[in-house]
């Protein structure tokens, strides 16, 4: 499999970014849901620190993914109705916006609460806002709402991929699977 994408399928670098980010988002989402119910302890602080670091990793991976996309080609769209192609592009655009907005609202919330932000205990990141408890409530709500909205869009994304694979029997899913090969 080629590192670079072809007009028929995504290359291994694009697939790596897709699947590692999907895994990180899934793990961090579950982690985020579970951590809020923990009793206050040092373990809870550690779990929150991991959640924040994974979120920042997703943000960094997204930046690298965009950089790669700028120099990598994109497989041509599968044949099909124009509305499906437009819907696919719209869903990807919304996913991209949410993938950026979710960690940024988390960082914003963390800054507004006045908490330090360390990346895997390696270095500190600066606050992006001054401490403000009232605004922190807004940031927290935005972070949570974006998470639930992201889940809805992901359900549409995965549902469409399954629909293409099972009902349309085309290459949309095959060309993004880690070891998938498009059929002729």
Distance (Å, whole) CA 93 – CA 52: 24
**Cβ neighbours around 167 below 10 Å, total:** 8
Place of tokens 């927290």: 140
Looking at residue 64, what is its pLDDT?
98
Burial, 2: exposed, middle or buried (Cβ in 10 Å; 0-12, 13-18, 19+)?
A: exposed
Distance (Å, whole) CA 68 – CA 6: 14
Q: Report the mean per-residue pLDDT for the chain.
A: 93
Q: CA separation (Å) from 82 to 44, 70, 183?
A: 48, 24, 22
Nearest CA to 72 out of 16, 153, 154, 19 is that of 16
Tens of pLDDT along 39-95?
A: 999 999 999 999 999 999 999 999 999 999 999 988 887 778 899 999 999 999 999
User: What pLDDT band is residue 182 in, cutting at 50, 70 and 90?
Assistant: confident
Looking at residue 52, what is its pLDDT?
97
**Tokens describing residue 89:** 């592009």
Distance (Å, whole) CA 26 – CA 183: 29
Beta strands in 74-127 (DSSP E): 117-119, 123-125
Does 121 score more than 90 pLDDT?
yes
Mean of pLDDT values over 91-117 = 96
**Cβ neighbours around 77 below 10 Å, total:** 12
Looking at residue 116, what is its pLDDT?
92
Nearest CA to 76 out of 171, 184, 179 is that of 171
Does 124 score more than 90 pLDDT?
yes
User: What pLDDT band is residue 14 in, cutting at 50, 70 and 90?
Assistant: very high
Distance (Å, whole) CA 51 – CA 57: 10
Does 181 score more than 90 pLDDT?
no
DSSP state for residue 5 in the 8-state scheme:
-
């Amino acid at each position: 499999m080629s590192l670079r994408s072809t007009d028929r399928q995504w290359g291994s670098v694009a697939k790596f970014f897709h699947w590692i980010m999907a895994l990180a988002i899934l793990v961090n989402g579950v982690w985020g849901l579970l951590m809020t119910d923990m009793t206050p302890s040092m373990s809870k602080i550690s779990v929150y620190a991991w959640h924040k670091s994974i979120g920042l990793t997703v943000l960094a991976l997204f930046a690298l993914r965009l950089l790669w996309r700028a120099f990598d080609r994109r497989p041509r769209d599968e044949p099909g109705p124009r509305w499906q192609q437009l819907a696919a592009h719209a869903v990807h655009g919304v996913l991209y916006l949410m993938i950026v907005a979710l960690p940024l609202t988390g960082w914003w919330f963390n800054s507004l609460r006045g908490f330090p932000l360390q990346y895997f205990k390696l270095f500190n990141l600066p606050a992006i806002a001054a401490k403000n408890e009232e605004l922190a409530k807004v940031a927290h709500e935005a972070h949570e709402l974006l998470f639930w909205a992201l889940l809805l869009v992901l359900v549409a994304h995965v549902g469409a991929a399954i629909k293409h694979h099972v009902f349309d029997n085309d290459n949309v899913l095959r060309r993004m699977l880690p070891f998938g090969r498009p059929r002729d």
